[in-house]
Structure 1
Amino acid sequence: MQFLLFLLVYPLLLSISILPFRILYLLSDLVYFIVYHIFGYRKKVVRENLALALPHLSDAERLSIERKSYKYLCDMFLEMIKTLTISKSEMAKRFVFTNLDEYLKLEKEGKSIALLCAHYASYEWAVSMNSKITVKGYGIYKKINNKYFDKLVRKIRSKFEADLIPINKTAEIIAHNHANGIQSLYGFVSDQSPQLRTFNYWHTFMGIEVPVYVGAEMLSKKYDMNVIFLKVNKVKRGFYKADLEVLSTNVKDVPDFQIMDIFLDKVEELILQAPEFYLWTHKRWKHRGKKPTA
């Protein structure tokens, strides 16, 4: 059944991926109309998230952000499909790293590097960074249940010299690379909500206390990695610029959880600057009010 689904869907994805960008975005406008106006995909979740995170705005302002966010969500989805066939040169024009030299200086220190990202703007196209660096690049991801689509996603990323690590294999692979002296770059998308456990670290994000993924920080400290933040901004439709900001080059001296605090504060700054480019369809604040009392 999985293979049959793949056979049915893959030709459609491939056909979409070869469309010129001008046609691709016309298709995105149509998809937006269907997703937002006809099906109302996760509209209740988005409205609740916007009301929680942006209470200082009026209903009309939040409605405007809601519509813009759905338009961008459709753009991003089709841009992800475009990655199937986009050339490295075209990607380099559309996703520009403004200060890659600063990053390359960190590589010369010999340490591995943890790259913290958010579900903001074109975080999927950040994979193109792997074709510009000199160390081995990995992306931490949630494995797709359909093994054929999972293999396809891995193949797409390999075009930009990136390997994907399933979340449950992250610690094992980082430990192996460290033990064998393999300097690497690890990309963590760390702004979504973790499962509630006996212990969670909590941080105030967009004015609400939420549990936080701390794996990136803990692994960085364990293996003495430098930590950087990928700040992505949309320039215009289909074009982005990315700044690489150093969060720490001496993580073992940083108090526990401070790196994640700084990371989430930077994500919050991006959201307040242009909230329509955040992924509001995820239930980021679903655990609010569940923090255990001492």
Structure 2
Amino acid sequence: MRKTRVICFANNKGGSGKSTTCSNVGYGMTELGNRVLLIDGDMQMNLSLSLFDEEKVLEFAQGSRNLYEGIKRQDDLRDYIVHSPYENLDLLPSSTLMSSIEYELFTKWQREYILKKGMKNIVESGSYDYILIDAPPTLGGWVMNVLCASDEVIIPVESTPWGLFGLGNMFEFLEEVRQIAPDLKLGGIVITKVDTRKNYFKQTLETLKELENVKVFDTYIRVDSAVEWSQDNNAPVIAYKKNSRSAGEYMELAKEITGQS
């Protein structure tokens, strides 16, 4: 039985394309024959909205079957998983109440490992080849939980003048987390929102390539209106418009991450 690989998508800067990358890479992995669980760890619930319409997402958020309730009760998170409309792609939905998750964690014993403990039976069951977690754009106790529950972290960085802002803080935070989770790996950086007509991409790429021991994925994600249309239709772009440029790029990224071709 193949070991379940847990990957989180994290960046303390908002607007980096974390949720979109997480959703589309997850769907792309299923196209490559994998079973995938997506975990929505952000109160904005964008990952949940990439698979379900707003009415259904709010139903999850206001009910008892969401990540916040599972963490608050320190339950086995298997009981909070919902099936998505897509084959081999499941979701552990979020809630707007995730905004108060730091308070819930504050009083808990070994609070950095609550998500990891909740995921234990999911990981050990081998039900999924990959578990992808969308982390909120913050650095705190909850993101530390997400990182401690992961085998590796992928950092989406947008190709804009402010895209690299705060990346140093992210690296410092990863080093802090490694004090208690020494096996956590930096899977790499993926450049998003690329407009090849502008110099920002070249500058971003050159700056990132100068970083020591940091992998930058060969595949980058260009700006494409198909992504916005797919979001408007609550679907991964690969499912919504398979022949679009961004669908092809996310498929290539999924192959690069999994090592499959």
* TM interval, short-chain normalised: 0.3 to 0.5
Structure having the higher strand fraction is 1
TM-score (norm. length: structure 2): 0.33
TM-score (norm. length: structure 1): 0.30
Larger Rg: 1
